[in-house]
Structure 1
Amino acid sequence: MTSIYCKPLSRTGLVLACCFWLAGCAGPLGLFGSRDSAPPFRDPAMSMQAASDVVMAGKTSKAEVLAALGPGVVVKFNSGFEVWAYRQKPAGAAASSAEFVVLFAPSGIVQKTRIRPSYAVHEE
């Protein structure tokens, strides 16, 4: 025997399932797993090396980096240090992403930068 509460619950479940499906489509890889995304820097033509040339250890502030490169992925530490990472998506599935990493001292001035180039991934 079915109760009168069964229909509203099944509709609610259907609505929730649709919401989760749509949320999954809006995820970081999009509807069909596309890896194409926005460039890592505010200026789409800027290369990793050009970004490295703009940011100078001991001189450049957070505000200057934000103005020159745009927002990156930020990791804050309890010690007051921050890391900003700018990742460039690989052109093919068989490559790792290149990244430019900036370490800020607690004073807000760049302490160190690093470029990690992309490498081909060999599957065995």
Structure 2
Amino acid sequence: MSHQEEAAVAAEKLRLIREGELYRIKVVHAKALVTQALQPDALMHGAVEHAVGMAQARLGGLLQPGGLSGLNFRSLKSLMPYALTVGSFIARKRLIKPALALAVVAGAGVAWLLRHKRTQE
């Protein structure tokens, strides 16, 4: 082997050694990321983020301009799955009286806001 070939082989060996070091660093980093992601607080955080994202995606159409304006048959039809899910949950957990109380308080709050808004105009 000539001196140039030996230098080329040495450079190739050095490149392979550095690639191996980089690969090992990436493996250690990936293990640390997986360990962090499997912590209970990280799992809960991810689940909450997922639930919020899904709720935003599902309810995004309702919050757009015109989404709830004029409660016609079509908008009621789109709201019924949500209403049934909430109603079923309330019935299963036996939270009917607290839910009614909350609805009355929310209704009174909305009525007050509407009356307050009219007096400002």
The TM-score bracket by the shorter chain reads: 0.3 to 0.5
Give TM-score, length-normalised by structure 2: 0.32
**Larger Cα Rg: Structure 1 or Structure 2?**
2
Name which structure has the greater RCO, CA cutoff 8 Å, separation 6+.
1
With structure 1 as the length reference, what TM-score do the two structures score?
0.31
Instruction: Point out the structure with the larger helix share.
Output: 2
